[in-house]
Protein backbone atom coordinates (compact mmCIF):
# COMPACT_ATOMS: atom_id res chain seq x y z
CA UNK A 1 0.00 0.00 0.00
CA UNK A 2 2.84 2.40 0.88
CA UNK A 3 1.24 5.86 0.69
CA UNK A 4 -2.34 6.93 1.31
CA UNK A 5 -3.79 8.82 -1.65
CA UNK A 6 -6.81 9.76 0.45
CA UNK A 7 -6.14 9.51 4.21
CA UNK A 8 -9.79 10.32 4.97
CA UNK A 9 -11.25 7.30 3.16
CA UNK A 10 -12.69 4.25 4.89
CA UNK A 11 -10.20 1.38 5.14
CA UNK A 12 -9.84 -1.95 6.87
CA UNK A 13 -7.25 -2.40 9.59
CA UNK A 14 -5.38 -4.70 7.20
CA UNK A 15 -5.13 -1.89 4.65
CA UNK A 16 -4.09 0.55 7.33
CA UNK A 17 -1.29 -1.71 8.57
CA UNK A 18 0.11 -1.90 5.03
CA UNK A 19 0.47 1.88 5.09
CA UNK A 20 4.07 3.06 5.52
CA UNK A 21 4.07 6.36 7.43
CA UNK A 22 6.50 9.02 6.22
CA UNK A 23 9.30 10.33 8.34
CA UNK A 24 7.99 13.25 10.39
CA UNK A 25 10.81 15.80 10.64
CA UNK A 26 11.45 17.83 13.75
CA UNK A 27 11.03 21.53 13.01
CA UNK A 28 12.47 22.40 16.45
CA UNK A 29 14.55 19.78 18.25
CA UNK A 30 13.94 18.08 21.60
CA UNK A 31 10.38 17.19 20.62
CA UNK A 32 9.32 20.84 20.79
CA UNK A 33 7.80 21.05 17.33
CA UNK A 34 7.23 18.44 14.63
CA UNK A 35 6.06 18.99 11.08
CA UNK A 36 2.30 19.44 10.85
CA UNK A 37 1.73 20.09 14.55
CA UNK A 38 0.64 23.19 16.48
CA UNK A 39 2.52 25.24 19.06
CA UNK A 40 1.39 28.20 21.14
CA UNK A 41 3.67 30.63 22.93
CA UNK A 42 1.74 32.78 25.40
CA UNK A 43 2.44 35.21 28.17
CA UNK A 44 1.52 38.46 29.84
CA UNK A 45 2.17 41.80 28.11
CA UNK A 46 5.82 42.87 27.80
CA UNK A 47 7.22 39.34 28.13
CA UNK A 48 8.78 39.47 24.64
CA UNK A 49 6.53 36.94 22.93
CA UNK A 50 6.77 38.54 19.49
CA UNK A 51 10.48 39.20 19.97
CA UNK A 52 11.07 35.48 20.45
CA UNK A 53 8.85 34.66 17.47
CA UNK A 54 10.80 36.94 15.14
CA UNK A 55 13.95 35.25 16.41
CA UNK A 56 12.35 31.86 15.71
CA UNK A 57 11.33 32.96 12.20
CA UNK A 58 14.92 33.96 11.45
CA UNK A 59 16.28 30.74 12.96
CA UNK A 60 13.92 28.58 10.90
CA UNK A 61 14.67 30.48 7.69
CA UNK A 62 18.41 30.00 8.18
CA UNK A 63 18.38 26.61 9.90
CA UNK A 64 20.24 28.05 12.89
CA UNK A 65 19.62 27.36 16.56
CA UNK A 66 16.75 29.07 18.37
CA UNK A 67 17.43 29.84 22.06
CA UNK A 68 19.67 26.77 22.19
CA UNK A 69 17.50 24.34 20.20
CA UNK A 70 18.34 23.05 16.74
CA UNK A 71 15.93 23.79 13.90
CA UNK A 72 15.14 22.51 10.42
CA UNK A 73 15.50 25.07 7.64
CA UNK A 74 12.00 26.08 6.54
CA UNK A 75 9.97 28.54 4.57
CA UNK A 76 8.27 30.88 7.06
CA UNK A 77 5.02 32.82 6.65
CA UNK A 78 4.64 35.40 9.45
CA UNK A 79 1.17 36.90 9.89
CA UNK A 80 1.24 39.95 12.20
CA UNK A 81 -2.17 41.33 13.14
CA UNK A 82 -1.43 43.59 16.10
CA UNK A 83 1.59 45.87 15.87
CA UNK A 84 1.70 48.70 13.31
CA UNK A 85 3.70 48.07 10.18
CA UNK A 86 6.22 50.83 10.89
CA UNK A 87 6.97 49.51 14.40
CA UNK A 88 7.69 46.03 13.07
CA UNK A 89 9.90 47.47 10.34
CA UNK A 90 12.03 49.30 12.91
CA UNK A 91 12.36 46.16 15.03
CA UNK A 92 13.44 44.01 12.11
CA UNK A 93 15.97 46.65 11.08
CA UNK A 94 17.69 45.90 14.38
CA UNK A 95 17.11 42.19 14.93
CA UNK A 96 17.67 40.92 11.39
CA UNK A 97 20.59 43.18 10.50
CA UNK A 98 23.43 41.45 8.70
CA UNK A 99 21.24 39.04 6.74
CA UNK A 100 20.66 39.16 3.01
CA UNK A 101 16.89 39.41 2.91
CA UNK A 102 16.66 38.05 -0.64
CA UNK A 103 18.11 34.78 0.65
CA UNK A 104 15.63 34.43 3.51
CA UNK A 105 12.58 32.30 2.75
CA UNK A 106 10.33 34.48 4.89
CA UNK A 107 6.98 35.90 3.79
CA UNK A 108 5.34 38.69 5.79
CA UNK A 109 1.73 39.81 6.06
CA UNK A 110 0.39 42.66 8.21
CA UNK A 111 -3.40 42.49 8.29
CA UNK A 112 -5.58 43.57 11.22
CA UNK A 113 -8.80 42.69 9.38
CA UNK A 114 -8.14 39.01 8.66
CA UNK A 115 -10.25 36.87 11.03
CA UNK A 116 -9.70 33.15 10.67
CA UNK A 117 -13.03 32.16 12.22
CA UNK A 118 -14.73 33.75 9.19
CA UNK A 119 -14.87 32.43 5.64
CA UNK A 120 -13.51 35.73 4.34
CA UNK A 121 -10.43 35.49 6.56
CA UNK A 122 -9.89 31.83 5.75
CA UNK A 123 -10.04 32.56 2.02
CA UNK A 124 -7.54 35.41 2.37
CA UNK A 125 -5.06 33.18 4.17
CA UNK A 126 -5.68 30.31 1.74
CA UNK A 127 -4.92 32.65 -1.17
CA UNK A 128 -1.55 33.55 0.34
CA UNK A 129 -0.76 29.92 1.15
CA UNK A 130 -1.53 28.88 -2.43
CA UNK A 131 0.92 31.48 -3.70
CA UNK A 132 3.65 30.36 -1.30
CA UNK A 133 3.09 26.72 -2.20
CA UNK A 134 3.27 27.55 -5.91
CA UNK A 135 6.78 28.89 -5.30
CA UNK A 136 7.82 26.32 -2.66
CA UNK A 137 5.77 23.17 -3.36
CA UNK A 138 7.89 20.71 -1.37
CA UNK A 139 9.69 22.72 1.30
CA UNK A 140 8.77 22.59 4.97
CA UNK A 141 6.42 25.50 5.69
CA UNK A 142 5.81 27.14 9.07
CA UNK A 143 3.01 29.67 9.59
CA UNK A 144 3.28 32.05 12.56
CA UNK A 145 0.04 33.76 13.63
CA UNK A 146 0.57 36.75 15.92
CA UNK A 147 -1.53 37.26 18.02
CA UNK A 148 -4.52 34.95 18.31
CA UNK A 149 -7.04 37.42 19.74
CA UNK A 150 -6.63 39.73 16.72
CA UNK A 151 -7.25 36.84 14.31
CA UNK A 152 -10.68 35.94 15.66
CA UNK A 153 -13.99 37.75 15.24
CA UNK A 154 -15.84 35.68 17.85
CA UNK A 155 -15.42 35.53 21.62
CA UNK A 156 -12.14 33.86 22.41
CA UNK A 157 -13.56 32.31 25.59
CA UNK A 158 -16.50 30.70 23.77
CA UNK A 159 -16.11 26.99 23.01
CA UNK A 160 -18.06 27.12 19.75
CA UNK A 161 -16.18 30.18 18.47
CA UNK A 162 -12.81 28.66 19.35
CA UNK A 163 -13.74 25.42 17.57
CA UNK A 164 -14.41 27.48 14.44
CA UNK A 165 -10.88 28.84 14.63
CA UNK A 166 -9.13 25.53 15.33
CA UNK A 167 -11.20 23.74 12.68
CA UNK A 168 -10.24 26.38 10.13
CA UNK A 169 -6.55 25.97 10.91
CA UNK A 170 -6.89 22.18 10.71
CA UNK A 171 -8.53 22.41 7.28
CA UNK A 172 -5.91 24.82 5.96
CA UNK A 173 -3.13 22.61 7.32
CA UNK A 174 -4.57 19.57 5.61
CA UNK A 175 -4.77 21.35 2.25
CA UNK A 176 -1.50 23.30 2.31
CA UNK A 177 0.72 21.16 4.59
CA UNK A 178 2.22 23.49 7.18
CA UNK A 179 3.17 23.69 10.83
CA UNK A 180 1.43 26.31 12.98
CA UNK A 181 2.88 28.57 15.66
CA UNK A 182 0.51 30.94 17.46
CA UNK A 183 1.35 33.88 19.71
CA UNK A 184 -1.20 34.31 22.46
CA UNK A 185 -1.90 36.24 25.67
CA UNK A 186 -2.39 35.12 29.25
CA UNK A 187 -5.69 35.55 31.04
CA UNK A 188 -6.09 37.92 33.98
CA UNK A 189 -3.81 37.02 36.89
CA UNK A 190 -5.40 35.05 39.75
CA UNK A 191 -4.18 35.73 43.30
CA UNK A 192 -4.51 33.49 46.36
CA UNK A 193 -5.46 34.57 49.89
CA UNK A 194 -1.87 35.69 50.48
CA UNK A 195 -1.94 37.89 47.39
CA UNK A 196 0.43 35.57 45.55
CA UNK A 197 -0.03 34.65 41.92
CA UNK A 198 -1.73 31.29 41.33
CA UNK A 199 0.00 29.28 38.60
CA UNK A 200 -2.35 27.21 36.45
CA UNK A 201 -0.04 26.00 33.70
CA UNK A 202 -1.46 26.02 30.18
CA UNK A 203 -4.86 27.00 31.57
CA UNK A 204 -3.45 30.48 32.16
CA UNK A 205 -3.94 31.08 28.44
CA UNK A 206 -6.73 33.47 27.57
CA UNK A 207 -9.74 31.70 26.08
CA UNK A 208 -11.61 28.43 25.85
CA UNK A 209 -10.17 25.13 27.11
CA UNK A 210 -10.65 23.89 23.53
CA UNK A 211 -7.45 25.70 22.66
CA UNK A 212 -5.54 23.89 25.40
CA UNK A 213 -6.84 20.52 24.18
CA UNK A 214 -6.01 21.29 20.54
CA UNK A 215 -2.38 22.34 20.78
CA UNK A 216 0.62 19.99 20.76
CA UNK A 217 3.23 22.23 22.37
CA UNK A 218 2.70 25.06 24.82
CA UNK A 219 5.31 27.52 26.01
CA UNK A 220 4.95 30.46 28.39
CA UNK A 221 7.11 33.58 28.48
CA UNK A 222 7.65 34.94 31.99
CA UNK A 223 9.37 38.06 33.31
CA UNK A 224 9.62 37.36 37.03
CA UNK A 225 10.76 40.79 38.23
CA UNK A 226 9.56 43.38 35.75
CA UNK A 227 10.28 46.36 38.01
CA UNK A 228 13.94 45.53 38.68
CA UNK A 229 14.95 43.17 35.87
CA UNK A 230 12.60 43.67 32.88
CA UNK A 231 14.84 42.00 30.28
CA UNK A 232 15.29 38.67 32.11
CA UNK A 233 12.91 36.17 30.49
CA UNK A 234 12.08 32.55 31.18
CA UNK A 235 10.64 30.45 28.36
CA UNK A 236 8.84 27.64 30.16
CA UNK A 237 7.57 24.66 28.18
CA UNK A 238 4.36 23.50 29.82
CA UNK A 239 3.66 20.76 27.30
CA UNK A 240 5.50 18.86 24.59
CA UNK A 241 2.91 16.28 23.62
CA UNK A 242 5.14 14.41 21.18
CA UNK A 243 8.38 14.58 23.14
CA UNK A 244 9.90 14.36 26.59
CA UNK A 245 9.58 17.27 29.05
CA UNK A 246 11.86 20.19 28.18
CA UNK A 247 13.64 22.36 30.74
CA UNK A 248 13.00 26.08 30.86
CA UNK A 249 15.27 28.42 28.94
CA UNK A 250 16.52 31.53 30.72
CA UNK A 251 17.64 34.48 28.65
CA UNK A 252 17.98 38.22 28.51
CA UNK A 253 16.64 40.40 25.73
CA UNK A 254 19.16 42.81 24.27
CA UNK A 255 17.06 45.96 24.00
CA UNK A 256 19.36 47.39 21.33
CA UNK A 257 18.94 44.48 18.91
CA UNK A 258 15.68 42.90 20.21
CA UNK A 259 17.44 39.54 20.25
CA UNK A 260 17.71 37.02 23.11
CA UNK A 261 20.99 36.15 24.80
CA UNK A 262 20.98 32.87 26.71
CA UNK A 263 21.66 33.25 30.41
CA UNK A 264 24.03 30.31 30.84
CA UNK A 265 24.42 31.00 34.55
CA UNK A 266 20.71 30.37 35.10
CA UNK A 267 20.77 27.31 32.84
CA UNK A 268 23.68 25.82 34.80
CA UNK A 269 21.99 26.59 38.11
CA UNK A 270 24.36 29.41 39.08
CA UNK A 271 23.26 32.82 40.31
CA UNK A 272 22.78 35.13 37.35
CA UNK A 273 25.45 37.70 36.57
CA UNK A 274 24.66 41.19 35.42
CA UNK A 275 23.73 41.67 31.79
CA UNK A 276 27.14 43.24 31.12
CA UNK A 277 28.88 40.04 32.25
CA UNK A 278 27.01 37.80 29.83
CA UNK A 279 28.87 36.73 26.71
pTM: 0.87
Average pLDDT for residues 2-23, to the nearest whole number?
83
Reported as a pLDDT band with limits 50, 70 and 90, residue 8 is: confident
Q: What is the pLDDT of residue 263?
A: 80
Question: From CA 171, how far away is CA 217, in angstroms rounded?
Answer: 19
pLDDT digits (tens, 9 = 90+) for 197-211: 656 555 668 788 899
Note the pLDDT tens digit of each residue in 251-263. 999 989 999 999 8
Q: What is the CATH number of domain 24-277?
A: 3.40.50.300
Pairing relationship of beta strands 38-43 and 179-185 according to DSSP bridges: parallel
- HSE of 53, CA atoms in CB hemisphere, 13 A: 30
Mean pLDDT of the chain: 88
What is the layout of strands, in order, in the sheet containing 259-262? Answer: 106-110, 75-80, 141-146, 179-185, 38-43, 217-222, 232-240, 249-254, 259-262
% the chain with pLDDT above 70: 87
pLDDT at 278 exceeding the cut of 50: no
150-186 confidence digits (pLDDT tens): 999 999 999 999 999 999 999 999 999 999 999 999 9
| Least confident window among 12-21, 140-149, 157-166 | 12-21
Amino acid sequence: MGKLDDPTRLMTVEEFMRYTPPNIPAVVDHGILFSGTNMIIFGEPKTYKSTLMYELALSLATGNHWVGFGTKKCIVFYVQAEMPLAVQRLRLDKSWIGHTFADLGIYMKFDRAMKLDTMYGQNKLAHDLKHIRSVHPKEELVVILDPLFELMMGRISDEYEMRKFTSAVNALQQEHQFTTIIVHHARKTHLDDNNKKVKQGAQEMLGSVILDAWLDTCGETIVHDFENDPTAVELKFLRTRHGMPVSSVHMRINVETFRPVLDYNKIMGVDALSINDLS
